[in-house]
Amino acid sequence: MIPLKLVFLGSDPIALPLLDWLAGEGSRLANIQAVFTQPDRAVGRGQKVTANAIKVWALAEGLPVYQPEKLTDGVRAQLAALEADVVLVMAYGHILREEFIATPRLGTLNLHTSLLPKYRGASPIQTAIANGERETGVSLMRIVRELDAGPVAGIERVEIGPLDTAEDIEAKLAAASVPLLARCLPLLGEGALGFLPQDEAAVTFCRRLEKADGAVDFKRPAAELAARINGLFPWPACALHLNGQEVKLGLADALAGPAAPGEVMGADAEGLLVGTAQGVLRLRRMQRPGGKMLPAAEFLRGFSVLPGSRLESRPMAPLVSVAPFRR
């Protein structure tokens, strides 16, 4: 097949494995004409204006880069001038207008990091893990005006292990986008790529996460808390108040056994043991302010937590809804 002319829209490093593939082996299926990404932003403590990883990659490949603050009619005209066959979107950060979506000859497709119709919205990776799912995936969908509601052409499944964090699953999903696109691009070029409507009865939504979502309520079951701690690492990260300091949590699992919610039960070789409403929560990685995330055994050598002490519970806001979250 003649390679498709493709324009990529994205702003997050999760797309880098896919872009590397498109620039290499995948170039027989599609040639990237240009990249649209978010404007350079101030980042870090020094608030230095910095290009994101997608722009850095595109410039290294010698590709044209567009960084509109808003998708105006002028920006749509720039896209039209590129005469793309297809626009591919992955973690771009802009809501696309209908005129923009309709510009490429074969439409505008999106790689969404959930098994649609589950977890439409802004935090599908973190929410799937925090909600106790044992698998997630990448869905290739046609973009429509409604949030993540377009018909789906294909999926690539990814297993969620009991000690996988959002950081781990993001890497797996980044890799999984490659075989998905490798299957779908040839069919798209031949006009044979089918799209199935989503099951509206099975739709769930997730929302943009906030620092406050790092609260831990020991009156909930240990398995639920471990899933939430792992799902929210590295950001916003769950945290506890210990010895007057906020201690971040990087990894946890759940053990069977009776316990009082919030009571420190001691430690084993793998972590600090804390009682919950059902079972024991084992905190496996911890970080004090200004320090590094450490295995709990190493952390506890320099940070005493007395058995029998009681940790504060804080209410946890829901992450999943059957209706869109209000902004």
Question: pTM (2 decimals)?
Answer: 0.95
Instruction: Name residue, tokens 């799912």.
Output: 133
- Give residue-wise pLDDT tens across range 190-249: 999 999 999 999 999 999 999 999 999 999 999 999 999 999 999 999 999 998 899 999
Query: Widest CA span of the chain, in angstroms?
Result: 69
Closest by CA to 132, choosing from 226, 205, 215, 206, is: 226
Q: How high is the pLDDT of residue 327?
A: 62
Low-confidence residues in the chain, pLDDT < 70: 327
- Give residue-wise pLDDT tens across range 153-203: 999 999 999 999 999 999 999 999 999 999 999 999 999 999 999 999 999
Q: For 56, phi and psi rounded to 5 degrees?
A: -60, -45
Q: How high is the pLDDT of residue 326?
A: 76
Instruction: Name residue, tokens 């493709």.
Output: 6
Q: How high is the pLDDT of residue 325?
A: 86
The first and second tokens of residue 261, run together, are 């919610």
Alpha helices in 87-240 (DSSP H): 98-101, 124-130, 166-189, 222-231
Q: How high is the pLDDT of residue 44?
A: 76
Angstrom distances, CA of residue 5 to CA of 18, 27, 107, 242: 16, 10, 12, 55
183-187 own/partner pairs: CB under 8 Å, 24+ apart: 183/154, 184/140, 184/153, 184/154, 185/4, 185/26, 185/29, 185/30, 186/1, 186/29, 187/153
- Confirm if 141 and 153 have CB atoms less than 8 A apart: yes
Domains and CATH numbers, the chain: 4-205 (3.40.50.170), 211-301 (3.10.25.10)
Q: What is the dihedral of CA 150, 148, 38, 50, to 10 degrees?
A: -140
Q: How high is the pLDDT of residue 20?
A: 98
Q: For 119, phi and psi rounded to 5 degrees?
A: 60, 50
Contacts of 171 (CB under 8 A, 6+ apart): none
- Confirm if 227 and 131 have CB atoms less than 8 A apart: yes
